[in-house]
Each structure stands twice: as structure tokens, then as C-alpha cells.
Amino acid sequence: MLELRRLQALYAVVTTGSVKDAAAKLGYSPSAISQHVSNLEAETKTILLEPAGRGVRPTAAGRLLAEHAGALLDRMAETEAALAALNAGETGVLRLASFATAGAELVPPALATVHRSLPGLEITVRIADRDEALQLLRQDLIDAAVIETHPTVLGQDDAALTVRPLLVDPFRLVLPRGHHLCEQSQPFLLEDFASEPWIDIRCEVGCCRSETTGVFQRAGFTPRRTVEADDYWPAQGFVAAGLGVALIPALALGVLHPGVSVKRLEQSNQPERHIAIATRTATTPTTAVQTVTAALRNQAEHPPQP
């Protein structure tokens, strides 16, 4: 295979008409240019340049190689420019996954910041729970994932993934507006609601379910779950209708149902979910991933606090 550096030297000699001018153009010494051309002639077993007055001129073979070399060099320059643009986040696609409630309150403003910084970057977002998102990440189907996780997981990066914390999202007690305990001074004790009916929220799985189950156990009771809701928003509707009370993460309370009242729990009774961003270690240093990570961290510093 012909070496591009030797072809570059030949192209410079043919386009400038002399070894000296070619050397000045490429920043080489004349002897280095001559050596590259000589090596190319030996490689191709062809005379590529011949004397012409005080300079040189290409043979037919030299012109042929120089023409192709020019096209190759142009293509290489285009390739380098495209790679530089991709590395700078000026082009390409950033593929993000997020769980639903982070997608509603945390991700949109962060991605708006990314778009302002990197307007040429295409951004796609999909909803995925933690296990699915990490699998997509490992398969190179996404570039970053906003996930719910346990604190112990944050320090256990494997060789393929890097997981970094974003924020701690506390659960709030959601009561029907007008509930007889609404006027009680905060923070609330969970055991005060042991006799209340509770809304079972199906999207509360994994670490979230572990957290809420743990605080109920510490409070000394098992909640009597009377109504099942698929997600946090319909859960607010059931609470507003007086069918029960609920524990809902603060991020899921960015939009409040007018019929509910949000209360804070005493610290020992308060479950929390930890939110992190996971990326592939190989692509973590790229501009696009660094930019979205910084934007999410900045947004996480100002989460909604109902």
C-alpha cells in the first residue's frame, strides 16, 4: 500500500514545480522531500520526476500519482475536519436515556443548555428504567443514561461504565387537601399515618421500592394499600379524591394536582432515591458527553422542592 506521506511529498513537488518549494510548503527539508520521492519511486518501480531546467517535472506516472494523491489528500482533510467537528460536539448524535420523572423535571432544561452550547449536535431521548438503560449503554445503543441507583453502586464502576452522582431526591408525603393532619406542624412522622389507606404506585420499583419499604418497617407498620396507580401523576389524582395518601419523590411533584397538599417527613422517616448519570468509560471524555453531564449537574443543583 502506498504511503500517504510520500504521496503528499510528490504532490507538493508537482504542484510547486520544485523540491525546494515543496519543502517550504510542507515544512520539511529538501533532502527529506527528495528521500520521500525516491522511496516512492522504489516502491512503485517507476520514475516519477525528471529534470526540467532548474526544476523538475513529473513523468506520466508522476502526474497520475499526483492527481490521485491530490484527491486522497483532500479526502483526508475532509476526514480530519469531520472528526474534529465530531470530537468538538459540533456534529453527531447524543443518545440519552432517562427514567420518566427525571425526564420530566431534570432532563429537558439540561438538554436545552446543551442545545445552546452545541447547536449542531442532534439529541435523542428515550425512557428506560435503570436495568434497561445500562444494557442499552453497554450495547452502544445510547451514550448516557440518567438512572435511579443506590449510594453503594456509585463507587463501583466497572471497566465499561462510569457512574457519577447527580442529586439525592427525597420522597414527600402527599395528602388530600383538607386532610385533618394538614395543619399539623412539620416535619411529619410516618407512624402518624399508620391507619391511613395508602396508594400503591406500580412504577415504584427497585431501589425506590426498597427505600419506601424500609421506612415503613422502621416506622413499625405495613401500609394498607387500597388503590393502585400506574405512575406518580395518577397517584396524585387518587390522593386528591381522598382514596389514600402517598409517598412521592420531589422530582415527580414538579406539577401538583390542585387537590393535594405536599408535606415533608421527619428526616429519619424520609426515604430518598439517588439519581446518577451513567456513561461508557470510552466515551466519557467526549465533548458531547461532558457537556450533557455538566448541564445535568448544574440543573441538579436546583431541583424542585415541593
Note down pLDDT in tens along the chain; length 306 residues.
788 999 999 999 999 999 999 999 999 999 999 999 999 999 999 999 998 887 889 999 999 999 999 999 999 988 888 888 888 887 889 999 998 888 677 899 999 999 999 999 999 999 998 889 999 999 999 999 999 886 655 545 578 899 999 999 999 999 999 888 888 777 888 998 999 999 999 888 777 888 888 899 998 999 999 999 999 999 999 999 999 999 999 988 988 999 999 999 988 888 888 999 999 999 999 999 999 999 999 998 876 666
The angle subtended at Cα 134 by Cα 128 and Cα 135, nearest 5°, is 95
Domains 93-167+274-300 and 170-272 share a fold: yes
In the CATH scheme, what is the code of domain 170-272? 3.40.190.10
Question: Which are the contacts of 235, defined by CB distance < 8 A and separation ≥ 6?
Answer: 174, 199, 201, 229, 246, 248
Q: What fold characterizes domain 4-87? A: Arc Repressor Mutant, subunit A (1.10.10)
Question: Given this model, what pLDDT does residue 157 score?
Answer: 56
User: Do 271 and 219 touch, CB atoms closer than 8 A?
Assistant: no
In the CATH scheme, what is the code of domain 93-167+274-300? 3.40.190.10
Question: Given this model, what pLDDT does residue 247 score?
Answer: 94
Give the per-residue SS3 of 77-141: HHHHHHHHHHHCCCCCEEEEEECHHHHHHCHHHHHHHHHHHCCCCEEEEEECCHHHHHHHHHCCC
Question: Given this model, what pLDDT does residue 174 score?
Answer: 95
Question: Given this model, what pLDDT does residue 156 score?
Answer: 55
Domain boundaries, the chain: 4-87, 93-167+274-300, 170-272
Question: Which are the contacts of 32, defined by CB distance < 8 A and separation ≥ 6?
Answer: 9, 23
